[in-house]
Amino acid sequence: MPFARAYRLARWFTSPFFGQERSYWRAVTACFLAASTFWLLNALNKTYTTRITYPLQWAYDEQRYIPVKPLPTEVAVNVTGRGWKLLRKNLLLDVRPAEVRLQRLPVTRFVTGQSLRPALQAAMEGLQFNYVLADTLWVEFDRLVTRRLPLGLSPNADGSALPYAAVFTPESVAFHGPARTVNSLASPYPVHLPRPRPAVARGPSSCPLAAPT
């Protein structure tokens, strides 16, 4: 039967391993580790062409502009290099990010893969840069502004939640951020008050509440 034949074959293959002393297994383990190490070193010394993700660092005037959405932190590229270098890049060991300088902000809306080529070539050490896998990286910036606004009660708040007139200290606050967002804020900036708690009905036996002095 096929099952019995497979069983006899497996038993014949594993029979030398039964009944062996501990020193035998130590020798087998040492041989296995030596063979694995030799195979790994041989594989890392070969040259490969593969896809990796490479980190990016954006350079722009941070005193005047601010990104509206998060900037891409890495880009997929095709490179050629030895296994040692590729392993270090994948583990991010001693990797210098590619510095991408942005001009003509906030008009610039995208960065092409071709324009990333000089920065990637300058940053990669020990690797041959082939091409960028992404055609376009999208960016969005706005002017960085500061606007001070006075504080006022929200139109939906009549002050009934407070037993006294609302006074704000400080009377105004400064908002620092993208121009489109900051300039769209209302002036005075509305402050929402908590809603008053509904009165709790009490029975005849409950004690009356003391009036505030």
Residue 114, domain CATH: 2.170.120
Instruction: Share the mean pLDDT of the chain.
Output: 78
Report the number of distinct structural domains present in the chain. 2
Pairing assessment for the beta strands 189-191 and 141-153 based on DSSP bridges: parallel
Hey, what are 106's tokens?
């906030």
Per-residue pLDDT of the chain (213 residues; tens, 9 = 90+): 566 666 666 655 555 555 555 665 566 677 767 777 666 666 666 787 888 888 999 999 999 999 999 999 999 999 888 777 777 776 666 788 999 999 899 999 999 988 999 999 888 887 888 999 988 999 999 999 999 999 988 766 655 556 666 778 889 999 999 999 999 999 989 887 766 555 555 555 443 433 343
Quick one: pLDDT at residue 206?
Answer: 41
Hey, what are 191's tokens?
């402050």
Is 7 a domain residue? no
The pTM score is 0.66
Residue 68, Cβ density class (10 Å: 0-12 exposed, 13-18 middle, ≥19 buried)? middle
Q: CB–CB of 100/119 below 8 Å?
A: yes
Quick one: pLDDT at residue 8?
Answer: 65
Q: Are residues 131 and 155 in the same domain?
A: no
Domain termination site, one of 120, 139, 158: 139
Q: How far is CA 18 from the centre of its chain?
A: 52
Question: Where do the DSSP E strands lie in 38-161?
Answer: 47-59, 65-67, 74-82, 98-101, 110-112, 128-132, 136-138, 141-153
Hey, what are 59's tokens?
């350079």
Give the structural domain span for 92.
Answer: 47-139
Q: Are residues 111 and 150 in the same domain?
A: no
What is the SS3 assignment for 152?
strand
